[in-house]
Amino acid sequence: MLSKKKTWMVIFTPYKTNTLRGQGKEFWQYTVIIDPSTRTVVDTTAANFSLTRTPINAEAAIAIQKDATWINEATKIVTDRQGETRKIATASLTDTDVNNKRGMVAVKMLLEDGSSYTAELRYPDQTLRCLIYEEAEAAK
């Protein structure tokens, strides 16, 4: 169910994206959702839709579950590239059944304050496809 709460959405995308896509050029798109009453960032998404999908078979899925480099890579993206300074309380693979068909490994990282990041990495090269930030629910 969609929230009826009003938000601002800021979308950053290159000029002439369809031309770039038609030329086979890679580019990123960014979306930021802001709560206008508090001016707080509610959600951020960075996506690169031009990357190739390689479905993950059962054997590869088992290997990914045992391979800590997926979680390590996602953690590095959040801390090193995103500049996150809050402690990551937990990190785990998520939605594996759905994502295996999409050729993607999603790593959900829960921060100490209840906020979270989900890094979607392409299989097999661990290229970042999308990074989603979700703010912790406000105390009621």
Share of the chain above pLDDT 90, in %: 60
List, as one string, the DSSP characters of 26-80.
Answer: ---EEEEEEETTTTEEEEEEEE-TTSPP----HHHHHHHHH-THHHHHHHHIIII
pLDDT in tens, 21-35: 899 888 989 998 888
pLDDT at residue 137, as a whole number: 77
* Mean pLDDT of the 4-33 span: 89
pTM, rounded to two decimals: 0.71
